[in-house]
Amino acid sequence: MTSIIKFTPLSGALNEGPCCYMLQVDEFTFLLDCGWDEEFDLKLIENIKKHISHIDAVLLSFPDAQHLGALPYLVGHLGLNCPIYATVPVYKMGQMFLYDLFQSHHNNREFDQFTLDDVDTAFDRINQIKHNQTVTLRDKGEGLSITPVHAGHMIGGTAWKIVKDDEEGEVVYAVDFNHKRERHLNGCSLFDSGDSLSSRPPQLLITDAYNAAYIQARRKLRDEQLLTKIIETMRADGNVLIAVDTAGRVLELAILLDQLWRDTRSGLHAYSLAMINNVTYNVVEFAKSMVEWMSDKIINSFTDQRNNPFQFKHLKLCHNLGDLAQVPQPKCVLASTIDMQSGFSRQLFVRWCSDPRNAVIVTGRTAKGTLARTLIDDPTISHLNLEIYKRVPLVGEELDQFERQRAAKKASEVKKFEDESSDESDVEDASKPGQVQHDFLVTADPPKKGGGFFKQAKKTYPMFPYVEQRLKWDEYGEFINPEDYRLNEIAMLEEEVEAAKPRKLPSTDEPQEVEQQDETPTKCVREILGVEVKCSVSFIDFEGRSDGESMLKIVQQIKPREVILVRGDPLATRKFSESITKLLNSGAGSTSAVEVFTPAVNEVVDTTKERHIYQVKLKDSLVGSLRFSTAKDAEICWLDAKVDYSEGLRDTAQVLSATQIAESTETSRQIRLPLDGDEEMDVDEVVMATSKSAKSETKPLKIAESEYKNAIPCLEPLNLEETPGHQICFVNELRLSDFKQVLVKEGIQAEFIGGVLVCNNSVAIKRNQQGLIDMEGCLTEDYYVIRDLLYQQYAIV
Amino acid sequence: MEELESEISHSDSDLLRITPLGAGQEVGRSCHLLEFKEKKIMLDCGIHPGISGLAGLPYLDFSDPEKIDLLLVTHFHLDHAGGLPWFLQKTPFKGRVFMTHATKAIYRWLLSDYIKVSNISTEDQLYTEADLEESMTRIETINFHEEKVINGIKFWCYHAGHVLGAAMFMIEIAGVRVLYTGDYSREEDRHLMAAEIPAVRPDVLITEATYGTHIHEPREEREARFTNTVTDIVNRGGRCLIPVFALGRAQELLLILDDYWSNHPELHDIPIYYASSLAKKCMAVYQTYSNAMNHKIQKQLNVSNPFQFKHISNLKGMEHFDDVGPSVVMASPGMMQSGLSRELFESWCTDHRNGVIVAGYCVEGTLAKHILSEPEEVVSMSGQKIPLKLSVDYISFSAHADYKQCSEFVRAMKPPHVVLVHGEANEMGRLKAALNREYEDDPETSINIHNPKNTESVQLYFKGEKMAKVMGDLAIKRPNHGETLSGILVKRNFNYHILAPSDLSAHTNLSTSALTQRQSVSFTAPLSLLKYYLHQLSDDVVTLKMSNGREGLRIFGAITVVKEVNMLVLEWAANPVNDMYADAVLAIILRVDTDPQARKIPVQRITKPDLYREFKDRLEVMLESMFGEHSFKVVAPGEDSLPEDEIHLEIDNLEVKINSKTRAVSCPNDSQTEEMLTECVQRLYATIMPVGTA
């Protein structure tokens, strides 16, 4: 039996690009993640496009753009039409990431790589599943099952296990995992042997070398560093800008900071703390409702004290710079995006960087060329030329032209609306003529309503302003109050704007009334702006990824038989691959060499292997004669048995007749014959089946080659004299320190002298160069007592 | 008789036993024991709401808590989880406990409330707040659909509807699957989703039978009837009492009332009270675990929280209640055994304008059940008889499956066995009959329905055909019929794999290892003397010259003996056979060293002893003693007609020839004698000659 395993990186291999890989298992092709970089490089899309028709399923591991950014494009523009699998948080937070990303770009420039509709349609295709939930694939993927396993890093973060039904050749795809427990997440559970669904080493491990050559400071140290930086800056009356992502790592930082602020000793509660992105409110609401995906500590504190850590005390949620302007100075702001290429982090950076009192903290390394990376690579940089996009209102000639176009468009649109429901046309009639054309700013609007938008970008949008009007039922306050409020906001903002540089235009048109803004036609301009970087810039790692050293240990622990390394600096990748090869092939008892592949983009790795496996049936008489000994969580024994095909052939007949009973999808299941006293039907059926096949058995046992293939051989016990001898095996790996405990428990004096375990001063036990155990001693009674104890540590078969 | 036979013919290892320890032909104190393949699982551990103290517990003395591996709790209701703190703290139970996240969060507050509310004297109290808190640390959580494997028991859970966090557990042991529904509802309501139908078919379905053959009225009708009744009562100037269980169904009723009030501004001046501090505490849980609710409410949650009620105020207790004019009060407990709902009921029941709406299932023996029969009088808590004048309505919102849902559920999965629990004996009997009727004309399906009483076991046999997978090098070639297959059989969680020892580390987390042993013993005699004696033990004695100039011997190709100063060092790779060889060698060493007789061998004889001659002599002695000196004739060797090694016998007039060198026996006239003698000769040879001699 051969099972085909082919792996093709489409992006993010031997470089630090976003993750996107294609994995073919037999006939079935998975797309493992589909990230997109900050620049929305169409080259990547071109690369996927070639294969798009082959893709049978998409597995997403994390909610950030690096892992699912291209999804809306693939679904919206390339017509990707296959099931997508992700955990519930990846689904929800992923949507937030993309909304924010879209909004960040759209606020300031024309953005046409995908629309919010594309995001919604793409996410509608996602099957939301839970960690450790095994999904059995159908049709083409018959026999394949996938299981998401907790991977840390971000909420809902997933490592995927892909298993072919024969249990042979399990593929594990685990990138960017974090084995360490954090404030809001448990460490990666992929490698716990405790409740793992299969305790066999995987055939193939696909992991990244992103952190291979990267040394992390201890978490405590980094936390302290962050605290010191914040306190220092804020005491000096400066603002702190922390560049974070939209809905992933930001949660960890938000909890950390809110805790710091709560701690009265820190003296921080006098200052303000805020979080800003286009979907802050939703991110926090979702986080609140996903407690069960977080760390044990959080779950316990919630069940015991009903403390939801995302019920922030100090953290203010902002959706635009107007909101933020209301937060008193000095403030510490968590702003997206992490790469500072777009979004509020970039806007705030431009505003704040020239003041030496301010501080900018970057929390993650992003791709080369991004503003964040530039700052990390050269923290002392003093002058930067930044590309600034902004949206400005149209004036003069342009405005006239726009008006003309709009009039034409309107005519056709009114017609379209009339075709729709009468409800909508009522609304239409009531509206002023100038209000109809929302399509220009359609998608810019929702976040201004406090992020309360969901899945309704196009259809419901044209009604939105009128819904506001309908709320008039309470004539006394509702309608006027927000207006008052808004005026306030404008006043505040204008102050702020004046304080900042005058070019800070994009935000000025924000706090206007919604309708007002809809009417203002805008265009996008791009300029290169030189900024002086006077503020302090620092990089504090809050990426939440396992470091290189730990990754090595983890790889050693899970003992994969093949490894594919992706995503990482070429040099680091090669080095990492060497260390893994060395590590995995040095262990005692390993029979075949472990291969490590480091493919480049579009380089196919073919790890197709001839795999040998067949099923046998164990006769009860055989099982009854076996004496098992225990080794770890398994029981083992030596088996000598005679292969009997006559039974097997009969059984295939039986299996066929019993297909209604046994499920054919699960070959690993035992074949069961319910034999209850009053269930004569089934018993009869079985009897019939057996008698039928018994007839066929009476014919001389001539077995054709093809029949052999399908027949399940049966194992029968051998007669005593037929039993061949065999080499005795000791199964287990003994740790001398464990054995010492055993000895001490038995009242035998035992201590280590120069690595040798000396027992009762008469017997020495040590590990020799090959890693095997040597036992040495005089002929004494102790010798035999200790030897017995030593033997008990092994399963001897 | 037939049953007896079948029991004998199946081994005990195929027996799956389901024993209700509570909720067998009754409602309340759900607790079931599932035993299969030496695994024991307890499903739920509730208390009977109608019985107080220890008597309200399930029949736990029919189980051995110490041996139970796993306890699964389906939802937080007292009759499913109420006995848990007692079971965890007061029994030697050591296994693991699982429930869903929402269940655990609410369980803690619900039971703490139960401890406070239950007006039982302290010595009758099953457990204290401290016990409850300690039990929290032992409870583990499981997500819906998440698979866990504990001790070879694989299990996962499905949404069950009913209440927030309610789960149905699917348990798989050795390929046999049992689905325990707990309480479930197949109808989507305002906040919960309908119970899922598992994609995999169970072999045994343990289902609730609460409503027997009843059929619920459609949800819209029921809601309309409810809101109409409430409106009627308040419109006639009465007070409306809705006794509810603090958590679970109450939230559904609150959603209905709040929604109804929002749509009927004319009702706005009639207050709705919800008298439960517990519900307030658990609101955070409802807001957090919204993922367990239906999609409608999840969408709504994204916009605003429907659990922030606009028209419902919380009532802390009677002392805060200003009872003037019409009002709607929801109060716990749901069956009015005691507490606030009872107090309100007693103060309101004499006014005919007032009304009570019983909105949930009532257990026999409670006041709620009693008033449904519309008695003239009821007995108050203080023992007085008071007239019952208020109107009593029964509108069930209890979200248990009715006959239609239950029958659909069974039909969707067609499990070979259905065990009915959690239902009154009569209802259960009717349900059993009805289900049986459904399938009596269906030759395709045979479904056995059981309705065991408490402590009565249902015994089912699942014949396990054990399949193993041969993997690795061992599987490269499929063996032919009659060939031998040898390898290590690894058994884990009822899965069998057969491997070559060298593949062990590649395919499992196990690895093979090796041990060497070195033993020193004092020895003063010359090595050559030892060698002489060792030759008697084994033919395979090789003299070694060690690199450091020392002399050594190698016996059996496994044991190395090195001569050191006044000492011998034995070294061998440990395994049972070599250990035995080593012991034998050691015995000789000790004898040579200590027995002065053994050293008396003349030096010139210290060569290889003539073992063959010895064998021949002994053979003759043996034959003599077997057949007697006179009854047979030993032809002495060396006679002309005979080769030297041959022995001729005449036993009972049979001619027998034995070759002492080749050990061939020939007796042309009687094969039986020939066989017997061959065996004797072989055995003697094996006994006398050194090990390893051909």
Reported as a single tens digit per residue, the pLDDT across A338-350 is 988 888 999 999 9
What's the confidence (pLDDT) of residue B374? 85
Closest CA to B145 of B186, B98, B105, B198: B198
**What pLDDT band is residue A404 in, cutting at 50, 70 and 90?**
confident
What's the confidence (pLDDT) of residue A2? 62
What's the confidence (pLDDT) of residue A191? 62
Of A628, A675, A712, the CB nearest to B491: A628
What's the confidence (pLDDT) of residue A463? 52
What's the confidence (pLDDT) of residue A122? 92
A682 pLDDT above the threshold of 70? no
SS3 B469: strand
**What pLDDT band is residue B551 in, cutting at 50, 70 and 90?**
confident
Q: Which of A301, A308, A639, A734 to mutate to test the interface with B (most CBs of B within 10 A)?
A: A639
What's the confidence (pLDDT) of residue A506? 41
CA distance linking residue B311 with residue B309, whole number of Å: 6
Mean pLDDT over B111-138 rounds to: 80
| CB contact (8 A) between residue B465 and residue A796 | no
Mean pLDDT over A61-66 rounds to: 92
Closest CA to B407 of B168, B193, B160, B197: B197
Set of chain B residues whose Cβ sits within 8 Å of the Cβ of A777: 518-520
Tokens of A324: 């933020």
**What pLDDT band is residue A111 in, cutting at 50, 70 and 90?**
confident
**What pLDDT band is residue A446 in, cutting at 50, 70 and 90?**
very low
Is residue B400 annotated as a catalytic residue, yes or no?
A: yes
Q: Which of B136, B489, B583 to mutate to test the interface with A (most CBs of A within 10 A)?
A: B489
Mean pLDDT over B411-417 rounds to: 92
**What pLDDT band is residue A194 in, cutting at 50, 70 and 90?**
very low
The β-bridge partners of B377 are B387
CA distance linking residue B469 with residue A615, whole number of Å: 4
What's the confidence (pLDDT) of residue A32? 94
- Class of the CATH-defined domain A734-796: alpha beta
Which range is least confidently modeled, B220-234, B262-276, B375-389, B589-603? Answer: B589-603
CA distance linking residue B220 with residue B548, whole number of Å: 98
Closest CA to A532 of A334, A391, A380: A380
**What pLDDT band is residue A755 in, cutting at 50, 70 and 90?**
confident
Residue B81: HSE in the Cβ half-sphere, 13 Å Cα cutoff: 29
Instruction: List pLDDT tens digits, range A329-339.
Output: 889 999 988 98
CATH architecture assigned to A5-215+542-606? 4-Layer Sandwich (3.60)
Instruction: List pLDDT tens digits, range A592-637.
Output: 678 899 999 889 998 887 767 788 888 877 887 888 888 777 888 8
**What pLDDT band is residue A283 in, cutting at 50, 70 and 90?**
very high
Q: Which amino acid is it at A49?
A: K
The β-bridge partners of B400 are none
| CB contact (8 A) between residue A797 and residue B488 | yes
Which range is least confidently modeled, B408-417, B455-464, B607-616? Answer: B607-616
More confident of the two residues B393 and A411: B393
How far lies B661's CA from each of A141, B122, B611, B645, B655, in Å? 69, 93, 12, 6, 19
A642 pLDDT above the threshold of 60? yes
Q: Is A787 on the interface with B (CB under 8 A)?
A: yes
Token look-up 């002309």 returns B640
CA distance linking residue B42 with residue B418, whole number of Å: 18
**What pLDDT band is residue A63 in, cutting at 50, 70 and 90?**
very high
Closest CA to B463 of B8, B11, B19, B1: B11
Secondary structure in 3-state letters for B620-670: HHHHHHHHCCCCCCCCCCCCCCCCCCEEEEEECCEEEEEECCCCCEECCCC
Which pTM was predicted?
A: 0.76
Residue-averaged pLDDT of chain B:
85
| CB contact (8 A) between residue B490 and residue A561 | no
More confident of the two residues B595 and B203: B203
Set of chain A residues whose Cβ sits within 8 Å of the Cβ of B474: 612
Which range is least confidently modeled, A665-674, B37-46, B670-679? Answer: A665-674
Q: Is B296 on the interface with A (CB under 8 A)?
A: no
Mean pLDDT over B536-545 rounds to: 81
Mean pLDDT over A266-287 rounds to: 90
**What pLDDT band is residue B224 in, cutting at 50, 70 and 90?**
very high
Residue A763: HSE in the Cβ half-sphere, 13 Å Cα cutoff: 26
**What pLDDT band is residue B464 in, cutting at 50, 70 and 90?**
low
Instruction: List pLDDT tens digits, range A688-710.
Output: 444 444 444 434 444 455 555 56
**What pLDDT band is residue A448 in, cutting at 50, 70 and 90?**
very low
Instruction: List pLDDT tens digits, range A503-549.
Output: 433 443 433 333 344 456 777 888 888 888 889 999 999 988 888 88
User: How far off is chain A from B470, nearest CA to CA, in Å?
Assistant: 5
Instruction: List pLDDT tens digits, range B593-603.
Output: 888 877 776 65
Which range is least confidently modeled, A483-492, B51-60, B321-330? Answer: A483-492
Q: Residue B497, Cβ neighbours under 10 Å: how many? A: 25
Token look-up 């004739």 returns B633
Secondary structure in 3-state letters for A228-242: HHHHHHHHCCCCEEE
- The ipTM of this complex is 0.75
Query: What is the percent of chain A where pLDDT is above 90?
Result: 23
| CB contact (8 A) between residue B466 and residue A590 | no
More confident of the two residues B180 and A478: B180
Residues 305-344 of B with CB under 8 A from A: none
Going by C-beta distance under 8 Å and a sequence separation of 6 or more, which residues neighbour residue A281?
Answer: A317, A319, A450, A451, A452
SS3 A640: strand
Q: Is A677 on the interface with B (CB under 8 A)?
A: yes
Q: Is A643 on the interface with B (CB under 8 A)?
A: yes
What's the confidence (pLDDT) of residue A450? 38
Q: Is A265 on the interface with B (CB under 8 A)?
A: no
Residue-averaged pLDDT of chain A:
77
| Domain positions in chain A | 5-215+542-606, 219-382+533-539, 610-729, 734-796
| CB contact (8 A) between residue B576 and residue A285 | no
Angle at A64 between CA A61 and CA A69, to 5 degrees: 95
Tokens of A591: 């029979």
Going by C-beta distance under 8 Å and a sequence separation of 6 or more, which residues neighbour residue B673?
Answer: B651, B654, B656, B667
What's the confidence (pLDDT) of residue B59? 93
What's the confidence (pLDDT) of residue A666? 38
Mean pLDDT over A410-423 rounds to: 62
What's the confidence (pLDDT) of residue A379? 82
Mean pLDDT over B450-475 rounds to: 85
A471 pLDDT above the threshold of 50? yes
Mean pLDDT over B533-560 rounds to: 83
Residue of A nearest to B5 (CA): A677
Mean pLDDT over B402-412 rounds to: 92
Tokens of A712: 């399940």
Set of chain B residues whose Cβ sits within 8 Å of the Cβ of A761: none
CA distance linking residue A230 with residue A238, whole number of Å: 9
On whether the CB atoms of residues B59 and B460 are closer than 8 A, the answer is no
Neighbour-count burial of B576, counting CB atoms closer than 10 A to its CB (0-12 exposed, 13-18 middle, 19+ buried): exposed
Q: Please name the residue ranges forming H helices in A62-160.
A: 65-68, 71-76, 88-106, 116-124
Estimate the share of chain B in helix, then strand, then coil, as percent rounded to the nearest 5: 35, 25, 40
Going by C-beta distance under 8 Å and a sequence separation of 6 or more, which residues neighbour residue A586?
Answer: none
CA distance linking residue A641 with residue A622, whole number of Å: 8
CA distance linking residue B98 with residue B138, whole number of Å: 9
The DSSP symbol for A198 reads -
Per CATH, the number for A219-382+533-539 is 3.40.50.10890
Set of chain A residues whose Cβ sits within 8 Å of the Cβ of B485: 616, 639-643, 715
What's the confidence (pLDDT) of residue A705? 53
Which range is least confidently modeled, A414-423, A665-674, B430-439? Answer: A665-674
More confident of the two residues A695 and A777: A777
Q: Residue A699, Cβ neighbours under 10 Å: how many? A: 7
Q: Which of B400, B417, B422, B535 is catalytic?
A: B400
A555 pLDDT above the threshold of 80? yes
Instruction: List pLDDT tens digits, range B157-194.
Output: 999 989 999 999 999 998 899 999 999 999 888 889 99
